[in-house]
Amino acid sequence: RGGTLPDLIGPGTRLLFVGFNPGLRSVAVQAPFSLRSNRFWSTLYRAGILDRVVDASEGMDAADRAHIIARGVGLTSLVRRATARADELSPAELVAGARDLERRVSGAPPRVVAILGITAYRIGFGVKDAVPGEQSARIAGVPLWVVPNPSGLNAHATPALLASAYRAAAVAAGIEVLPEPH
């Protein structure tokens, strides 16, 4: 609890995905989205953002990190500290995380920032009536998107819905998406 996970951001990041905060397992293995029940990596593959599904369950190897960065994808968290569940975060932490994210984005701006989950966005950015998709607001001048949270707990977001939303954000960021796998 309370540990952190370093950002995965390269010099050519075009699309920056922002999760709520790292989970305990992710901090333990020092790899984002390490739970096999989380659909993040399979969504990136299904959306044509990556050419393979990354297995981060025991950590992430250098080849996967290099591939993610080469594809123009970056990963960070709204709140840095690890918790067992996202609902352990206070609204004040989400608001402070949004301010911190703006500072981080302004330092090396991507083309698009995609927040993973409408709840974190609504609370952190103070937009109670926000809907998924591209937002009218910007962060450090960068277009801001809200895409569905890939957690297995977010069961109403189907794999097809996840892939479609992530693909749209990737296209907006100028990532040349790959054909959808069969």
For 153-165, how does the pLDDT look when each residue is reduced to its tens digit (9 = 90+)?
777 899 999 999 9
Residue 60's pLDDT is what? 95
Strands of the sheet with 142-147, listed across from one edge: 73-77, 15-19, 112-116, 142-147, 133-139
Closest among 38, 31, 41 to 71, alpha carbons compared:
41
Q: Which residue has the higher pLDDT, 27 or 85?
A: 27
* pLDDT tens, position by position, 37-59: 889 999 999 999 999 999 999 99
Q: Which residue spans within the chain are E strands per DSSP?
A: 15-19, 73-77, 112-116, 133-139, 142-147
How many degrees, rounded to 5, is the angle at CA 122 between CA 109 and CA 10?
Answer: 20
Is the Cβ–Cβ distance between 150 and 47 less than 8 Å?
no
Tell me the one-letter amino acid at 58.
E
Query: Which pLDDT band holds residue 92 (cuts at 50, 70, 90)?
Result: very high
- According to DSSP, residue 88 is labeled G
Residue 156's pLDDT is what? 83
What's the mean pLDDT when you consider all of the chain? 94
Query: Which pLDDT band holds residue 19 (cuts at 50, 70, 90)?
Result: very high
Residue 151's pLDDT is what? 81
Residue 180's pLDDT is what? 82
User: Does the pLDDT value for residue 152 go beyond 90?
Assistant: no
Q: What phi and psi, each to the nearest 5 degrees, are found at residue 29?
A: -100, 0
